Amino acid sequence: MSVTRETNNNRKAAWPRFAEFLRRWWAGAAVVFLIILGVFIFARGGQKAKAAKQGPSGVPGVPVIAVPVKKGDFSVYLSGLGSVTPLNTVTVKTRVDGELTKVLFKEGQIVSKGELIAEIDPRPFQVQLTQAEGALARDQAQLENARLDFERYKDLVKKDLIPKQQLDTQDSLVHQFEGAVKADQGQIDNARLQLTYSRITAPIGGRIGLRQVDPGNIVHASDTAGLAVITQLQPITIIFSLPEDSLSQVLGKMGHGNQLTVEAYDRDQKQKLTTGKLLTVDNQIDPTTGTVKLKAEFPNTNNELFPNQFVNARLIIDVKHNALIIPSPAIQSGPQGAFIYVVKEDQTVEMRPVTLGINQEGNALITAGLSGSELVVVDGADRLRDGSKVEVKGRDRGAPAPQRQQK
């Protein structure tokens, strides 16, 4: 009896513990259920968002890069390889022989026309000048005396005191001394000129090159190397070549009095160096290359161009104002001709036929089929069809189209 009572007491004590276990188990199960439910709802929402993004058909949008149509000026030009050629290049030489005593320029210096750049020992020429002046003074005195005698002889001839032949001889002597005086004056002028030549000045303004002779050397007028070379930098010219087929187009523009603009670019055609004007066209075509040479002049104010530099010259022959410009990769070709894909507001594309005007390095001019406020696909068009759903990536709608143009 006591055993039964004890067993009942144990059962009564175990029941609260079991109830507490069940309560905790159900609480944990409820938490796990709520977590699973939350994950399911989140995943469901993501699938709906993805489906909404893909569109009603469930097909994902094709990723493309698109840019807006640009409206502006479109320069049409001819491009040719050229070299920078100075208008004037002078080798500075001495005009007299002597010792080079002074060199007054620095290599690479910009000099002005008439600026003193070197001196030759002037003393030999000063001596020559003194000698010539002395000879002139002597002959002038003899001339004066001969003239006085001539006047006396005229009076004596009138009185028949001397023969007329003596008067004629005196007259010839006067003319002889007059000639001697003129010769002496020529010697003076020559000595002064040689003295002037001993001071060497810049014949033109420009950049002076490396010094060829050091002070202390004896220089001669017959030396071929000279003292230095001066190259005019401002203005400067570029001589470039164009195919002979372009000649009529250029001459036609020049014949109507148009001043054609020429732009100079670096060797890689990435950096614009300066802008100038076309001067002239050569008078013949090179039969070996089928090209004609043209010369353009540039102010070169900031020394953008350097003699013998290779550049790319662009001769602008026309400018299309308010033109519709798109990148060249946007142009597609089909059986019906050129077309592009235009992105519409509902993120689908329309295959639009266009009329292509000029297609130049990186850009194309559209004459019909577009307006100035549309978005065109430039990358990813190979996977598109008319009406395809797209997802515009890369450049945004405000990104400008490239500006480099070439013909």
Shared domain check, 249 and 128? no
Q: Do the beta carbons of residue 346 and residue 318 sit within 8 Å?
A: no
Strands 291-298 and 236-243: antiparallel
Mean pLDDT, the chain, whole residue set = 83
Looking at residue 319, its amino acid is V
CATH of the domain at 274: 2.40.30.170
**Overall residue count recorded for the chain in this entry:** 407
Q: What is the mean pLDDT of residues 300-320?
A: 91
- pLDDT on residue 382: 76
Shared domain check, 192 and 254? no
Q: Is residue 357 part of a domain?
A: yes
- Residue 114 contacts by C-beta under 8 Å, 6 or more apart in sequence? 201, 202
Shared domain check, 212 and 113? yes
- pLDDT on residue 10: 52
Question: Which is more confident, 273 or 69?
Answer: 273
What pLDDT, in 10s, does the model give residues 123-169? Answer: 999 999 999 999 999 999 999 999 999 999 888 888 888 898 988 99
pLDDT over threshold 90, residue 101: yes
Shared domain check, 347 and 364? yes
Q: Which domain holds residue 276?
A: 78-87+231-318
Shared domain check, 143 and 128? yes
Strands 337-343 and 375-379: antiparallel
What pLDDT, in 10s, does the model give residues 370-391? Answer: 777 788 888 877 777 777 888 7
pTM for this entry: 0.66
Question: Which is more confident, 355 or 229?
Answer: 229
pLDDT over threshold 70, residue 31: no
